[in-house]
Amino acid sequence: MSPASRAATHPPTAHPATGAATSLLDAYAPGARFLATPGRTLLADGPARPVPHGARPVDQRVTAALAEAADAGQDAPVVIGAIPFDHTAPAALSVPETLRTAPPLSSDPLIALPSASSSAPDWGIRPVPEPDVYAAGVASAVDRMWRGEFSKVVLARTLELTSPAPLDVPAMLQRLARRDPGGHTFALPTGPGRTLIGASPELLVSRRGRRVVANPLAGSTPRSDDLAEDVRRAAALLESAKDLHEHAVVVDAVHQALAPYCSGMSVPPRPTLTRTATMWHLSTTVTGTLADPAVSALTLACALHPTPAVCGTPTAKARQVLAETEPFDRGYFTGMVGWGDAGGDGEWVVTIRCAEAEERTLRLYAGAGIVAASEPAAETAETAAKFRTFLSAVGAAL
Annotated active-site residue 382? The verdict is: no
The span from the CA of 152 to the CA of 371, in Å, is 5
How does DSSP assign 110-160, residue by residue?
A: GGGSPPPP-PPP--EEEEES-HHHHHHHHHHHHHHHHTTS-SEEEEEEEEE
Q: Are 309 and 251 in contact (CB under 8 A)?
A: no
Catalytic residue selected from 149, 202, 317, 324? 202
DSSP-derived secondary structure letter, 112? G
SS3 call for 142: helix
Annotated active-site residue 386? The verdict is: no
DSSP-derived secondary structure letter, 390? H
Catalytic residue selected from 68, 149, 152, 229? 152
What angle do the packed helices 227-239 and 241-258 form, to 10 degrees?
A: 60
Non-local CB neighbours of 103 within 8 Å, separated by 6+ positions? 2, 5, 17, 20, 21, 40, 41
Q: Are 97 and 73 in contact (CB under 8 A)?
A: no
Task: List, by residue number, the catalytic residues.
Answer: 152, 202
